[in-house]
């Protein structure tokens, strides 16, 4: 699984810090066979961690917690492409291609700076990957995120209006965890 963090200006530093905390907790509860990579994007994309196994989970959580908020625009397509690169660079993934889809979790608050390119990129990637979206905030772009998420959107698109809503966040992250277990994904 690759988790993609939106660090654009519209997220804001406070919300970004809260998201990091929730995702760190989520990562700490994942099954030991799930490998996780982390990408942060805004105007520029950064690989925070390549795909790592559970033996490196604590270091991965430290990397998540140490991520800095960058601001900038929302290059969603670039974040998606970097996630694809992380999978491509992982040798075990290469032997899995064609057997099962791997999971990308996109955490964002909405509108990409290039909506059509983001949708086009996602449509191509959905042939190989399941794209699950955590849409954070009140001003999300439902059409765009619905086009980026895998189908059905009732399973792959989750809207969390308030990141402080512990019950809602826990429910959404639990459903994503179940999705990973159900698909028996190692990524």
Q: How many domains does the chain have?
A: 1
What does the longest C-alpha to C-alpha distance in the chain come to?
Answer: 41
Q: What is the spatial distance between Cα 32 and Cα 160, in angstroms, rounded to a whole number?
A: 27
Q: Report the chain (187 residues): mean pLDDT per 10 consecutive residues.
A: 95 94 92 92 96 93 97 96 91 50 90 94 94 92 94 93 85 83 52
**149: its two tokens:** 């998420």
The answer to whether 116 and 143 have CB atoms below 8 angstroms apart is: no
**How confident is the model at residue 60, as a pLDDT?**
96
Q: Which structure tokens are listed for 33?
A: 């066979």
CB 86 within 8 A of CB 45: no
What is the residue range of 23's domain?
2-183
> What pLDDT does 187 receive?
47
Paired with 52 in beta bridges are 36
> What's the confidence (pLDDT) of residue 69?
97
pLDDT of res. 99: 47
Q: How many angstroms separate the CA atoms of 105 and 75, rounded?
A: 15
pLDDT at 91: 58
What pLDDT does residue 178 have?
Answer: 80
Rounded distance, CA 65 to CA 21, Å?
Answer: 7
Half-sphere exposure of 139 (CA within 13 A, CB side): 4
E strand map for the chain: 2-6, 36-41, 45-52, 102-108, 129-136, 157-160
Instruction: Give start and end residues of each alpha helix (H) in 111-164.
Output: 115-125, 142-148, 153-156
Per-residue model confidence (pLDDT) at position 32: 85
Domain of residue 79, CATH code: 3.40.50.410
Task: Please report the pLDDT score of residue 181 as a whole number.
Answer: 61
pTM: 0.90
């Amino acid at each position: 699984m690759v988790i993609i963090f939106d660090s654009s200006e519209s997220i804001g530093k406070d919300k970004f810090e809260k998201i990091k905390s929730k995702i760190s907790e989520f990562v700490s509860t994942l099954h030991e066979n799930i490998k996780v990579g982390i990408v942060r994007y805004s105007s520029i994309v950064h690989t925070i961690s390549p795909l790592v196994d559970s033996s490196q989970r604590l270091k991965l959580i430290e990397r998540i917690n140490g991520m800095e908020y960058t601001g900038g625009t929302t290059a969603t397509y670039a974040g998606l492409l970097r996630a694809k690169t992380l999978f491509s660079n992982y040798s075990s993934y290469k032997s899995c291609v064609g057997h099962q889809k791997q999971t990308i979790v996109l955490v964002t608050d909405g509108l990409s700076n290039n909506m059509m390119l983001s949708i086009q990129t996602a449509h191509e990637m959905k042939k190989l990957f399941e794209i699950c979206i955590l849409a954070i905030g009140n001003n999300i772009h439902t059409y765009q995120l619905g086009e980026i998420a895998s189908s059905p959107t009732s399973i792959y698109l989750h809207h969390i209006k308030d990141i402080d809503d512990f019950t809602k966040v826990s429910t959404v992250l639990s459903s994503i965890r179940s999705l990973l277990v159900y698909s028996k994904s190692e990524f």
